[in-house]
Structure 1
Amino acid sequence: MRSRLVPPVLSLLCATVLAGCTQDSPAPGGAPAPGPGVADGAPARAAVDTLSVKGRAPRTGYAREEFGKAWLDTDSNGCGTRDDILKRDLAGPAFKDGGACTVVSGVLEKDPYTGGRIRYRRGAGGGGIDIDHVVALSDAWQKGAGGWDRGKRVAFANDLMLAA
């Protein structure tokens, strides 16, 4: 099974959920005592209850090319999104021809799925590290991206926070 880098979206979600929460001493009866400003979650549950669940739309018209060329340089730093992610997440990245973009090796110190250390080497297999979208582009197309303009789809496909 191929490992994936930690989805930054999950980290952001956890940080959002846990923001402001503290570990307090248990109240009588063993339940944690709510800290100052800590809600019981009722407003969030009520908001979720208002969301409608819809089925999948057809893939009519979907093609990977509708999201632009894979791993573009959307931040104008001269490097493609895939290499930006590798530079961000690998320790000690080495670059092709002494440059600053094409990552040829590095180490993922703690694989989020196994806890193990993975050495990355560009090429066949990549050392078990694969970069992919947290939300598959086909799935995004079926859930509304088919109605976006091309610029928004390209930005979505190359968003550093939506790739892992």
Structure 2
Amino acid sequence: MPGSRTLTVLTVSVIVAAGFTGTALATPPGIPSESTARSELAALTVKADGSLDGYSRDKFPHWIDQGNSCNTREVVLKRDGTNVTTGSDCYPTSGSWYSPYDGATWTAPSDVDIDHVVPLADAWRTGAASWTQAQRQAYANDLADPQLIAVTDNVNQAKGDASPDEWKPSLTSYWCTYAEMWIAVKSRWNLTVNSAEKSTLTDMLGHC
């Protein structure tokens, strides 16, 4: 259940923040293989999305303190960037970020957003509306699963809260990985998928 993940996720988050090195990880953690993703997709509950009634981003507190003067956004910027250096406040002072959604590379952190792979609003519609605030906070700051990734800011904004049947990365070469990440997050947080979403994810796995 999502509640059982809260302590684990936050503990892993602190470990990641404390373990910064000069080597950037190429991808978020926990991306499953194609075969595992197909199995996880088959096991997801298929149902129509729920309502957005009552939704607010404030109900998913994010970019929380992760220790070492770092918040969640700064942890991901460090993890996903190349040759990233930071000031005493953990904010990057130099580095570069490759956005796998569109293939762009940026050298200013202000040009980079941290995308929730499965958006907060989508999570609300597919199960998170019934979670506690603590569970939603853990989800919004999940560093243990492939839920957070540094990408071009306007690409993230164009995605909004869309599911894969409504929006995909412009680089078709990333569709497989994107589908694997999306499925993993839905599986690990017990979220549902609608029929169009499941069909699209199946098609995207065909690019693996």
Class of the TM-score when normalised by the shorter of the 2 chains: 0.5 to 0.7
Please give the alpha-carbon distance, in whole angstroms, between the structure 2 residues aligned to 1:106 and 1:71. Answer: 20
Bigger share in helix: 2
Residue aligning to 1:71: 63
Which stretches in structure 2 are left out of the alignment for 5+ residues?
Answer: 1-24, 150-208
% identical aligned pairs: 37
Question: 1:14-93, aligned counterparts within 5 Å?
Answer: 14=33, 17=36, 44=39, 48=42, 51-68=44-61, 70-73=62-65, 75-93=66-84
Alpha carbons of 1:6 and 1:139: their partners in 2 closer, same or farther (altered >3 Å)? Answer: farther
Counterpart selection for 1:150 from 133, 142, 163 = 133
Please give the alpha-carbon distance, in whole angstroms, between the structure 2 residues aligned to 1:55 and 1:77. Answer: 42
Amino acid at match of 1:13: P
TM-score (norm 2): 0.50
Residue aligning to 2:95: 106
Please give the alpha-carbon distance, in whole angstroms, between the structure 2 residues aligned to 1:91 and 1:114. Answer: 17
Residue aligning to 2:109: 122
Contact 2:69 2:88 in 1 (8 A): no
Alpha carbons of 1:7 and 1:53: their partners in 2 closer, same or farther (altered >3 Å)? Answer: farther
Please give the alpha-carbon distance, in whole angstroms, between the structure 2 residues aligned to 1:147 and 1:12. Answer: 26
User: Larger radius of gyration, structure 1 or 2?
Assistant: 1
TM-score (norm 1): 0.62
SS in 2 for 1:13: coil
Deviation at 1:155, TM superposition (A): 0.7
Amino acid at match of 1:8: P
Where do 4+ consecutive residues of structure 1 move more than 6 Å? Answer: none
Which stretches in structure 1 are left out of the alignment for 5+ residues?
Answer: 19-40
